[in-house]
Chains A and B, each alone.
Chain A
Amino acid sequence: MAELKTTQIVGNPHLEGKYIAEMDMWPLEDPALNRLYPFYDNMKQSRWTTTKCKKCGYISYPPGVACPNCWSDELEWIDLPRTAKVVGMTETLAGAPTGFDSPLIIAWLGFDKAHPLKHLLVRIINCQAGQLKIGDEVKFVTFEVPAHPMDVKKESKTCERVYYAFEPIKK
């Protein structure tokens, strides 16, 4: 008599403990998966960087592999100034998306005239609900996000990751 099959096929990889890239809320940062990996590598050194076009001088955000202003692929990585001012803000006290703690504080940042960016929407961390005010200065900050597995030939590699947010500048 044939052996009984003990593997239960549930049709839902989550229930088998598998990582699913389609459900991942963070970027896939490994050099094998994208060409903007210097952004993430720089972030691991606490640097906030983007690409500048060597042909036309345009600084794009997010960074890219071709310039959105002239489509040249001759780009260089530059450091962005890491402070900004809060122009607008909102606090989600309950019901933040899975993976984000409440209060989820999101701010609309304004940058000074010398900065390549004009506006940016960011998350504010290391901040209590009710603490942040419009006009406050905030600064770039990085944090670790969950690593994910990746097949490399017959092995599985762990891809470490970071991401960024902004935090209040202590007065």
Chain B
Amino acid sequence: MAQTKKACIVGGGTSVFGVRAASIFDMLQEAANAMSKDIPGLKPKDIDGLIFASTTAGRNSNSLNTAPIVAHRLGIKPTSICVRVDTLCSGSNTAIILATGLVESGISEVVLVTGTEKLNLPQRWESTFMNLYTNDHDWDSAMGLAVPPPFFGMIAQAHMKKYGTTKEQMGAVAVANYAYGFNNPMAQFSGKTLSLGDYMAARTVCDPFGLNDCCPVTDGASAVIIASEERAKAMTKRPLIYIRGTGQTASHGMSAGWPGETLADWPHLKKAGEIAYKAAQLTPKDIDVAQTHDCFTISEIIEVEELGFCKKGEGGAFVASGQIKVDGQTPTNTDGGLLTVGHPYGATGARQAIEICKQLQGRALHQVKDAKFGLTHNLSGVCAQHTVVIYGTEPVK
């Protein structure tokens, strides 16, 4: 089908992220409520498509085939699409790619992308145990690979060895993102400050990570509207924000298929970025603000390299020299990122999209001056999949 329409992000909202006394359906309704305040006048009947992102809904919340239940709880009666996507940490960013395709092709007009996870279970052991089921179960998980810190710890060791990245440089990511998240009322670590001294003194999680190198275990939900240009215009008085390009790569589900020479090299992210930049008719230099997947401090360092904001191997120096701060070259994770907002897998991509939407509309908490182009990125699994979406105040010509 030929592309006939342009897709826009209209706005969105999130629940409070954190250790929540709430179910996934409670939090999805909270996110819908927040979204309705962000897009005044938006009603459930305006929406013809629903793409729901959650990986753990079937397990942690005992809810398989969840999309029709979500539609019911949110008062939506989809006529073009009603589906759940399960791509772990990139769930709602994947859903945004799908929604874009459906809107551009004319199949859908107004799509609600909403994502959630309930990761804090009644007992802590089960939150850890559940993670065994998010990797290749029979091959990697049976080795004890559950929660991500050990794997990303080895990634950090490899980057430190190959490129000379230091603990202080990783600390620069944590300090910057805590500063961004401090006044984000929806963040799990809202109101928390972090100095480099605090960071260096934090208790060890696994070598070389301390507590502040790792994103927390988070419950939360988010919701955004992806609509055709015509419908978006009718829905909001704010500047239209267009989805210009997307890319998603999946190179391996299991560790034996790792695509890089070392764990410090992520060619599959580089590829996802290149595909998205080409579609968006932009280069890394054009990106005014980015939301990258800072599940760990080292992740953000490798991402700024592979996404082309700096040279490969220079990510540590790039972040430590302040280039990710609001007045730097590429302000990154300006709402606090995964490190402080938290990371309920399926909710994260849409949460990032909301921040980029606000930045490009000139209404972000930490506003980047004259931001025209923004990028979101997620990784998922054992760094197996990379998802990139590029937004702009103008569509691709």
Could you say which of B128, B153, B256, B258 contacts A62, with CB atoms under 8 Å apart? Answer: B256
Q: Quick one: given A106-B150, A108-B263, A121-B145, are A61 and B132 in contact (CB under 8 Å)? A: no
B263 to chain A, nearest CB (A): 6
Most buried by A among B136, B141, B154: B154
Beta-carbon contact of B154 and A61 below 8 Å: no
Beta-carbon contact of B144 and A26 below 8 Å: no
- Say yes or no: is A25 at the interface (Cβ < 8 Å to chain B): yes
- Say yes or no: is B370 at the interface (Cβ < 8 Å to chain A): no
Beta-carbon contact of B263 and A88 below 8 Å: yes
Q: How many chain-A residues does the 8 Å CB contact rule pick out? A: 29
Q: Quick one: given A25-B132, A98-B129, are A117 and B144 in contact (CB under 8 Å)? A: no
Q: Which chain B positions have C-beta within 8 A of A99?
A: 129
| Interface set, chain B 168-196, CB cutoff 8 A to A | none
- Say yes or no: is A91 at the interface (Cβ < 8 Å to chain B): yes
- Say yes or no: is B236 at the interface (Cβ < 8 Å to chain A): no
- Say yes or no: is A89 at the interface (Cβ < 8 Å to chain B): yes
- Say yes or no: is A58 at the interface (Cβ < 8 Å to chain B): no
Beta-carbon contact of A92 and B138 below 8 Å: no
Most buried by A among B143, B145, B158, B262: B143
Residue of B nearest to A166 (CB): B143
Beta-carbon contact of A106 and B143 below 8 Å: yes
Q: Which chain B positions have C-beta within 8 A of A89?
A: 154
Beta-carbon contact of B131 and A97 below 8 Å: yes
Beta-carbon contact of B207 and A97 below 8 Å: no
Q: Which chain B positions have C-beta within 8 A of A27?
A: 137-138, 142
Residue of A nearest to B208 (CB): A90
Q: Which chain B positions have C-beta within 8 A of A91?
A: 206-207
Q: How far is the CA of A92 from the CA of B207 in the complex (A)?
A: 9
B123 to chain A, nearest CB (A): 10
8 closest cross-chain pairs (CB), A and B = A121-B255, A27-B138, A88-B154, A97-B146, A90-B150, A123-B143, A100-B144, A61-B256
The interface of chain B, by Cβ under 8 A from chain A, is 125, 128-129, 131-132, 136-147, 150-151, 153-154, 157-158, 206-207, 254-256, 258, 262-263, 382
Q: With A25-B141, A91-B207 given, can you name 18 additional A-B contacts, CB distance below 8 Å?
A: A25-B129, A61-B254, A61-B256, A62-B256, A88-B158, A90-B157, A91-B206, A92-B144, A95-B128, A96-B144, A97-B131, A97-B132, A104-B150, A106-B150, A119-B255, A120-B256, A121-B143, A121-B382
